């Protein structure tokens, strides 16, 4: 494994002075993907929000450290030591986030294309036409066949699945080194799920993006991830190579519950 681009070392998150998640430790290098799996409320999303400075009011990193190696930097930076403005400068360019409810993260009274331009213009000098071309190409790769109409519209005009793909494209616009993806395919049909999975796999393989996939979807985790981290009640129940952690003969109870929840299709003879 090469140099780590993202490293959690004994990270603990507290609310109101009470530890609720952790300690958690892992490291990801370029093109690696970690599947963070577990039941709802187990602390999966909190891990991502801790890195991005998006913890809810009262939440803070109470122990440990999160280190990120931005593009072109010889040494990693400690995210826990940065001022808010410094952390914001890394969000989008070095770290991207796909939210589970992407539509809720969009401004309802702004056209989608304008929001895309605003996000890019905050970090680099560019034109609306350049951003529009880049954004349209991403939307097409994510199985949205009429990107110009999407960019000219408002969030309320999108279905849940379309909104999710728009959120994914927005997260990828600035080509982050690390992408946190929180249930990126949850509201998509199977065709769109495949397009999203293929695009995430391409980013990891071709552009070296390190992926932290937060999901209940075991099939998606197996398709994209090298490593797995199983969360339960805010603590790490198991972690290691994904094939090992999710193997049927040694899965921990929390992983076993997720494996058992995968629908099994049977023929007429199995009824």
Q: Which domains does the chain have, with CATH numbers?
A: 1-94+178-262 (3.40.50.300), 103-175 (no CATH)
Quickly state the pLDDT bin for 22 (edges 50, 70, 90).
confident
For 155-187, write each residue's pLDDT tens digit: 999 888 888 889 888 988 888 889 999 988 877
pLDDT of residue 269: 45
- Whether pLDDT at 23 is above 90: yes
pLDDT of residue 71: 75
pLDDT cut 70: percent of the chain above it: 95
Distance CA 30, CA 5 (A): 6
Q: What is the DSSP letter of 92?
A: T
Distance CA 198, CA 182 (A): 16
pLDDT of residue 262: 66
Please report, in angstroms and rounded to a whole number, the separation of the first and last CA atoms in the chain: 47
- Whether pLDDT at 135 is above 70: yes
For 227-247, write each residue's pLDDT tens digit: 999 998 899 988 999 988 888
pLDDT of residue 265: 44
Closest CA to 100 of 183, 173, 165, 26: 183
Q: Can you read off the two tokens belonging to residue 224? A: 């994209």
How much is the average pLDDT of 22-40? 91
Quickly state the pLDDT bin for 264 (edges 50, 70, 90).
low
What are the Cα distances from residue 220, in Å, to 3, 21, 200?
26, 24, 11
pLDDT of residue 184: 87
Greater pLDDT, 9 or 261: 9
Q: Can you read off the two tokens belonging to residue 12? A: 């603990």
How much is the average pLDDT of 214-221? 86
Q: Can you read off the two tokens belonging to residue 101? A: 């409810």
Question: Which pTM was predicted?
Answer: 0.87
pLDDT of residue 132: 94
């Amino acid at each position: 494994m090469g140099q780590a681009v993202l490293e959690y070392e004994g990270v603990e998150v507290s609310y109101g002075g009470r530890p609720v998640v952790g300690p958690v430790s892992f490291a990801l290098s370029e093109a690696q993907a970690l599947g963070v799996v577990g039941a709802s409320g187990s602390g999966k999303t909190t891990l991502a929000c801790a890195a991005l400075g998006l913890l809810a009011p009262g939440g803070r990193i109470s122990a440990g450290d999160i280190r990120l190696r931005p593009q072109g930097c010889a040494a990693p930076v400690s995210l826990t030591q940065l001022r808010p403005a410094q952390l914001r400068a890394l969000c989008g360019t070095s770290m991207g986030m796909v939210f589970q409810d992407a539509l809720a993260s969009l401004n309802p009274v702004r056209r989608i294309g304008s929001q895309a331009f605003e996000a890019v213009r905050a970090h680099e000098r560019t034109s609306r036409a350049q951003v529009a071309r880049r954004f349209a190409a991403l939307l097409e790769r994510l199985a949205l066949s009429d990107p110009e109409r999407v960019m000219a519209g408002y969030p309320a005009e999108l279905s849940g699945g379309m909104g999710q793909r728009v959120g994914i494209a927005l997260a990828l616009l600035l080509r982050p080194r690390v992408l946190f993806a929180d249930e990126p395919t949850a509201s998509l049909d199977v065709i769109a799920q495949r397009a999203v999975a293929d695009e995430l796999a391409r980013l990891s393989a071709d552009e070296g993006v390190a992926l932290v996939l937060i999901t209940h979807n075991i099939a998606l985790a197996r398709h994209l991830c090298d490593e797995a981290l199983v969360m339960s009640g805010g603590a790490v129940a198991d972690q290691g190579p994904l094939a090992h952690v999710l193997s049927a003969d040694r899965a921990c109870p929390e992983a076993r519950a997720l494996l058992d929840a995968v629908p099994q299709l049977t023929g007429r003879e199995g009824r």
